[in-house]
Chain A
Amino acid sequence: MKIGLILRPLLVLLLLALVLRPEWFLPLFAPLAPQGAPAIYARSSLLSLSLSHLGLVAAATLAATLVAVSLAIFVTRPAGAAFRPLSRTIANMGQTFPPVAVLALAVPMLGFGAGPTLVALFLYGLLPIFENSVTALTSLPPAAMEAARGIGLNRWQRLLRVELPLAFPVMLTGIRLSVVIALGTATIGSTVAARTLGEVIIAGLLTNNTAFVLQGGLIVGLFAVLIYDALIQIEAFLAKRTGAG
Chain B
Amino acid sequence: MIEIDNLTKTYGDTQAVDAVTMTVETGSITVIVGTSGSGKTTLLRMINRLEEPTSGEVRINGKPTHAEKPHLLRRRIGYAIQGHGLFPHHTVARNIAAVPRLLGWKKPKIRARVDELLTLFSMDPAAFRDRYPAELSGGQQQRVGVARALASRPELLLMDEPFGALDPIIRARAQDDLRRIQQHLGSTIMLVTHDMEEAIRLGDKVAVMDGGKLVQYAAPAEIIAKPATDFVGDMVGDVDRPLRLLSLIPLSELIEDGPAEGEAMPADASLREALAACLWTGRTAVPVTREGVHVGRVTFEAIRNRAELHA
Residues of A within 8 A of B (CB): 141, 143-154, 157, 161-162, 165-166, 241-245
Q: Are B132 and A147 in contact (CB under 8 A)?
A: no
Q: Are B74 and A150 in contact (CB under 8 A)?
A: yes
CA distance A144 to B90 in the complex (A): 11
Select which of B76, B79, B88 is within 8 A of A144 by beta carbon.
B88
Q: Are A152 and B81 in contact (CB under 8 A)?
A: no
CA distance A143 to B142 in the complex (A): 12
Known A-B contacts A143-B83, A147-B79; the reply to A152 vs B89 at CB < 8 A is no
Q: Are A149 and B50 in contact (CB under 8 A)?
A: yes
What is the 8 Å Cβ interface bit string for chain B, positions 69-98, against chain A (1 contact, 0 not)? Answer: 001111110110111111111000000001
What is the 8 Å Cβ interface bit string for chain B, positions 36-69, against chain A (1 contact, 0 not)? Answer: 0000000000001010000000000000000000
Across the interface, which residues of A come within 8 angstroms of B132, CB to CB?
241, 243, 245
Q: Which 10 pairs, one residue from A and one from B, show the smallest C-beta to C-beta distance?
A: A243-B134, A147-B85, A152-B74, A152-B75, A150-B79, A143-B85, A245-B134, A245-B133, A245-B88, A143-B83
What is the number of contacts between chain A and chain B, taking CB atoms within 8 Å? 79
Q: Are B86 and A245 in contact (CB under 8 A)?
A: yes
Cβ of A77 to closest chain B Cβ, rounded Å: 16
11 A/B residue pairs, CB under 8 Å, sorted by A: A144-B87, A146-B50, A147-B85, A151-B98, A151-B102, A153-B71, A162-B87, A165-B89, A166-B87, A241-B89, A245-B134
Q: Is B149 an interface residue (CB 8 A)?
A: yes
Select which of A147, A161, A243 is within 8 A of B81 by beta carbon.
A147
CA distance A242 to B71 in the complex (A): 25
Select which of B48, B89, B133 is within 8 A of A150 by beta carbon.
B48
Known A-B contacts A149-B74, A152-B72, A245-B132; the reply to A166 vs B79 at CB < 8 A is no
Dominant secondary structure at the A interface: helix
Q: Is B253 an interface residue (CB 8 A)?
A: no
Across the interface, which residues of B come within 8 angstroms of A150, CB to CB?
48, 50, 74, 79, 81, 85, 158
Across the interface, which residues of A come within 8 angstroms of B84, CB to CB?
143, 147
Select which of A143, A145, A157, A166 is within 8 A of B89 by beta carbon.
A166
Q: Is B99 an interface residue (CB 8 A)?
A: yes
Across the interface, which residues of B come within 8 angstroms of A145, CB to CB?
85
Per the 8 Å Cβ criterion, residues 117-147 of B in contact with A are 132-135, 141, 145
Q: Which residue of B lies closest to A140 (CB)?
A: B88
Q: Are B135 and A243 in contact (CB under 8 A)?
A: yes
Across the interface, which residues of A come within 8 angstroms of B87, CB to CB?
144, 147-148, 161-162, 166
CA distance A237 to B158 in the complex (A): 35
Cβ of A162 to closest chain B Cβ, rounded Å: 6
CA distance A151 to B99 in the complex (A): 7
CA distance A192 to B113 in the complex (A): 63
